[in-house]
Chain A
Amino acid sequence: MEPRISGVDETLKNELSKQGILTTTLQELYNWGRTSSIWPLNFGLACCAIEMIATTMARYDLARFGAEVFRPSPRQADLMIVAGTVTKKMAPQVVRLYNQMPEPKYVISMGACAISGGPFKQGYNVLKGIDRYIPVDIYIAGCPPRPEALIDAFMELQKKIDAQQLTGENRPRHLSADQPSEFTVPRFGEHDLEPTRNPAIWKPPLVQIAQAGTDEFGSH
């Protein structure tokens, strides 16, 4: 039988806290600590980075979420915000930076370009989404997303970290010894990056191509 982590009953916990007794679990404490101080990696790729910088400044004040410490070194960062267009020339460096970050680490793919290539999708020098090489936790749509959207992504990431379990089948990657923490850095090939994607983490979703070009009612 699966061991119960949060072994304390919620109503009992509430009752105890009314009496001035705090109960917690190691998992809650561990996740609370990580949730409340996410240190993003200090790098930007394009115009989304400007919105990211605005998010950290006085008007939007990302410090309210404990994530104001942008680290200039991947060794000290927990979170990579891929803010902007990832060109094919830049992609190996982005993957290498991600590999250099210590676990546990998270990725926010910020804006249309980082998700799919965005307006530059069919361009000869633009990667069609950073999730082809590294695992992405949160996607934010927008071109560029507003600071509120980035704050929303932070809150979603905090929820995600809060819900992570330390043991069991669904435990996160960094608690499982057989899961990779580094991913293949693509090489510069003669015509494209090699490989063009990491098949272990990205598989093309199935699209019903017969319906392409038609609207939701099936007409052209």
Chain B
Amino acid sequence: MNLEAIKSEIEANVPGCRLELVANPSPSGQHSLLLDGEHAVAVATYLRDAAGLRFDFCSNVTGIDWPGKEVSQTATARKIVDGLEQEVEEVGTTAIPGYLDVVYHLYSVEKKHGPLVLRMRTQDRHSGVHLPSLTPVWRSAELQEREVFDLFGVFFEGHPDLRRLLMWPGFVDHPMLKDYVDPDDYEYEPTAHDVVLRRVNQHRSEAGGR
């Protein structure tokens, strides 16, 4: 299974699609294909139906939260300082906006190959979170896309039944986002340590020493 070969095969057969290889630097080296939302359903249908690929089984759908971060860079620039031209190092920070990833793991039962890892990426973490659903292509994604919607807040367009799965309908947060703050119910923690101890002390100080 050569990902490069699959990528060029898809590009030849699904006109207009924009694919990107996302390399995995770990020893497992499970590189993935980043799909664009516009053509994702067409690409998924091709992967499922193409005679040589036949990815007929979507085993896993999950989400990843990438919060925005600031990267500091040092750049050298020539400037005139005290009448002399000098090389000055300037430290600038670039804000990299956050986004959510949705990851699909595909296998072929017929051809006995896999996994093929697909990704889709949202524009940001809270408002531009609409992606096409791949449930019409692989029915097994239905519950797992609901879970990703519940816990990460990704809206899957074209999903037949997009409701919350683990939390209730009136719940407003998405607990797997890294900036989720769980409710302050730290009134009784008999073996508190680390993060829990910090939350307990915070609860005590807010509740007036109790």
A residues engaging B (CB < 8 A)? Answer: 87-89, 122, 124-125, 128, 188-192, 196-197, 204-205, 207, 209, 212-213
Nearest residue in A to B190 (C-beta to C-beta)?
A207
Contact between A125 and B185 (Cβ–Cβ < 8 Å)?
no
Shortest CB-to-CB span from A117 to chain B, Å, is 10
| B38 CB–A CB distance under 8 Å | no
Contact between B168 and A207 (Cβ–Cβ < 8 Å)?
no
Cβ contacts under 8 Å, B172 to chain A: 190-191
Cβ contacts under 8 Å, A188 to chain B: 168-171
Q: Given the complex of chains A and B, what is the CA–CA distance between A190 and B192 in angstroms?
A: 27
Contact between B173 and A89 (Cβ–Cβ < 8 Å)?
no
Shortest CB-to-CB span from B26 to chain A, Å, is 28
Contact between B171 and A196 (Cβ–Cβ < 8 Å)?
no
| Cβ 8 A contact of B196, one of A87, A88, A122 | A122
A207-B171 in contact given A89-B166, A212-B197 (Cβ < 8 Å): no
Interface size grouping (class) on chain B: 20 to 34
Q: Given the complex of chains A and B, what is the CA–CA distance between A189 and B172 in angstroms?
A: 9
Shortest CB-to-CB span from A116 to chain B, Å, is 9
Known: A89-B168, A190-B171, A209-B192. 16 other contacts (CB 8 A): A88-B167, A88-B168, A89-B166, A124-B175, A125-B166, A125-B167, A125-B175, A188-B170, A189-B170, A191-B171, A196-B183, A204-B187, A204-B188, A212-B193, A212-B197, A213-B197
A-B complex: 7 closest residue pairs judged by Cβ atoms: A124-B175, A204-B188, A204-B187, A192-B183, A188-B168, A190-B172, A212-B192
A205-B183 in contact given A124-B175, A188-B168, A191-B172 (Cβ < 8 Å): no
Q: Given the complex of chains A and B, what is the CA–CA distance between A88 and B1 in angstroms?
A: 44
| B201 CB–A CB distance under 8 Å | yes
| B111 CB–A CB distance under 8 Å | no
Q: Given the complex of chains A and B, what is the CA–CA distance between A197 and B171 in angstroms?
A: 18
A209-B200 in contact given A124-B182, A189-B170 (Cβ < 8 Å): yes
| B204 CB–A CB distance under 8 Å | yes
| Cβ 8 A contact of B185, one of A128, A212, A213 | A128
Q: Given the complex of chains A and B, what is the CA–CA distance between A128 and B183 in angstroms?
A: 12
Q: Given the complex of chains A and B, what is the CA–CA distance between A149 and B42 in angstroms?
A: 57
| B161 CB–A CB distance under 8 Å | no
Q: Given the complex of chains A and B, what is the CA–CA distance between A208 and B204 in angstroms?
A: 11
Contact between A191 and B188 (Cβ–Cβ < 8 Å)?
no
Q: Given the complex of chains A and B, what is the CA–CA distance between A174 and B77 in angstroms?
A: 84
Cβ contacts under 8 Å, B200 to chain A: 209, 212
Contact between A205 and B188 (Cβ–Cβ < 8 Å)?
yes
Cβ contacts under 8 Å, A125 to chain B: 166-167, 175
B residues 48-103 touching A (CB-CB < 8 Å): none
Shortest CB-to-CB span from B189 to chain A, Å, is 7
| B191 CB–A CB distance under 8 Å | yes
Contact between A207 and B185 (Cβ–Cβ < 8 Å)?
no
Q: Given the complex of chains A and B, what is the CA–CA distance between A209 and B196 in angstroms?
A: 11
Shortest CB-to-CB span from A46 to chain B, Å, is 14
Q: Given the complex of chains A and B, what is the CA–CA distance between A212 and B198 in angstroms?
A: 11
Shortest CB-to-CB span from B144 to chain A, Å, is 17
